[in-house]
Amino acid sequence: MNIQAPAIRTVDDFLRWNEGREGKREFVNGRIVEMMTGGTERHAELMMQLGSLLKSVLAPSEYVVTGSDYAVRTPLGVRYPDVLVKPRVAGDGESLATDRSILVAEILSPSSLATDFGEKAAEYTALDSLQHYLVLAQDEPRVWLWSRGEDGAFMKPEMTVGREESVDLKGLGVTLALAEIYRGIA
């Protein structure tokens, strides 16, 4: 559903208007788009598990790991990924969005499948700073990883399946085991 708000024309207008509002929405192609709220327990748990795991392996003096309350600026507007990693920059603590994300992760739900693999993948991989776009299945240890190659272009997504497997996030200098990402998640 789209909300009509004619006074909101830019990303900054949207961010100021959206701050502190209840519900979830994104700003895409100059339009305010309502997002799903009230995801499954597994979605919430997986989001927290991935965020916690990234926080435990990345140097807090170098990186900030956030959840879906913090936005990323994309070429088409503003998105709120489930998990985001950006460099720690002095003075950014009060910002409402970043244009320096290194990793963006989305957790699939039936209603987000086409968007996560389609328009969000295109928007995120167009970001100059992004090194990895990670999409996680909720119902099994299965992830899709888009990574920037040495030539600067994003490679086709690589699918990894099974608790015994891992994903290499070279742009962050870490490898994450799917067993750890999905630990305790049925």
> Residue 137: is its pLDDT beyond 80?
yes
Helices (H) and strands (E) in the chain, counts: 5, 14
pLDDT single digits (tens) 48-89: 999 999 999 999 999 999 998 899 999 999 999 999 999 999
The kind and range of the H/E element at 100 are: none
* pLDDT at residue 3 is higher than 60: no
Round the average pLDDT of the chain to a whole number and report it.
Answer: 91
Q: What is the DSSP string of 28-72?
A: ETTEEEE---S--HHHHHHHHHHHHHHHHHS-TTTEEEE-TTSEE
Predicted structure pTM score: 0.88
In which band, very low, low, confident or very high, does the pLDDT at 186 lie, cut at 50, 70 and 90?
low
Query: Looking at residue 38, what is its pLDDT?
Result: 62
Q: What domains does the chain contain, in order, with CATH numbers?
A: 39-181 (3.90.1570.10)
